[in-house]
Amino acid sequence: MLTGIVIVTYNSDIERLGLILNSLGQQGVSYFISDNSINSEKKAAIQGLCVERCVRFIDMKGNVGIAKAQNEGILSAFNAGCSDILLLDDDSLPSFGMLNELLRARTAFVQKFGAMPVICANAIAENGESLSHFGKPVADGIFSYRDMISSGTLINKSILDLVGLHEERLFIDCVDYEWGWRAASLGVNVVIAEKAVLNHRLGNGRIKAINAGYGSPIRHYYQYRNILYMMGRHYVPLSWRLSQFAKLLIKPVVMIAFFDKKMIRLKYAFKGFVDFFRKKYGDIN
């Protein structure tokens, strides 16, 4: 049974990417890098690393979004004979034995319930804080997991055949959530293995006063637009829809009070709001 490790890169830190490629070894796995880089020097460095490590390099020829890049990596892995897919971000470093722990936990789940689950790793920040939200315990060290994060997620081909690939027109934000909720609506169990640790580097920064992270201003466009799209989908949890609706109302105040580049962020958020009503998907451009 061959596992395809699909990593989406975007102007990535080459040193950290090298650590990721070292983290899971080579036995029983095959690596696929889908590169969204727009920096030519970074792209060349990533491609050179792939040649050096015998990793399949997939040039997306620009930033086509995380969903399309993941899908291309998944299809390449299937064509290479992989029966399982492990998704990783370029800033997520698997701990030693993470993949084995995911496989062990999945086997335990199948033996207990007789069904193949999607099984996710436990994301741990650099300060040791768990970033994952555990649901109810379903087996020893295995918990239900409502809002799936793609990095560190192990998915069997049979489940992807049932659920389908990621929704490319969302481009970035809510891509992993949408796929996980769609899978759950089709009867697939989405769970998290506590002992499968994924070391995750947080984004651009955090605001201690409100314990909130933030990214680049353009992300507000995709967040507003895609969250509004999720509001109208029947398989999205009602509690998530209600909480996110409240956050969308409050976020402009938070931007003004705490964030840098306030007007640029507000401009992108407003454009996302407008483009939702225009029924625009895909890249902002």
The model's pLDDT over 78-123, given as tens digits with 9 standing for 90+, comes to 999 999 999 999 989 999 899 999 999 999 999 999 999 999 999 9
The CATH-assigned architecture of domain 3-200 is: Alpha-Beta Complex (3.90)
Q: What are phi and psi of 235, to 5 degrees?
A: -90, 0
What is the pLDDT, as a whole number, of residue 128? 80
Question: Which tokens in the block code for residue 104?
Answer: 């062990």
pLDDT value of position 205 = 59
Q: Does the pTM of the predicted model rise above 0.75?
A: yes
C-alpha angle 219-225-230 in degrees, rounded to nearest 5:
115
Distance CA 108, CA 257 (A): 48
CA distance 25 to 105: 19
Give CATH 3.90.550.10 domain extents, the chain: 3-200
Rounded-to-integer distance, Cα 219 and Cα 76, Å? 28
Which pLDDT belongs to residue 30?
A: 96
Instruction: Specify whether the CB–CB gap between 132 and 145 falls below 8 A.
Output: yes
Q: For the chain, state the CA radius of gyration.
A: 19
Rounded distance between C-alpha atoms, residue 130 and residue 152, angstroms: 14
pLDDT tens per residue across span 54-72? 999 999 999 999 999 999 9
In sign, the C-alpha dihedral spanning 107, 110, 116, 119 is: negative
Write out residues in the chain with pLDDT < 50, as ranges: none
pLDDT at site 172? 96
Q: What is the pLDDT of residue 130?
A: 84
Residue 90, both tokens: 């370029």
Residue 105: which residues within 8 A CB-CB, separation 6 or more? Answer: 119, 139, 141, 142, 191, 193, 195, 196
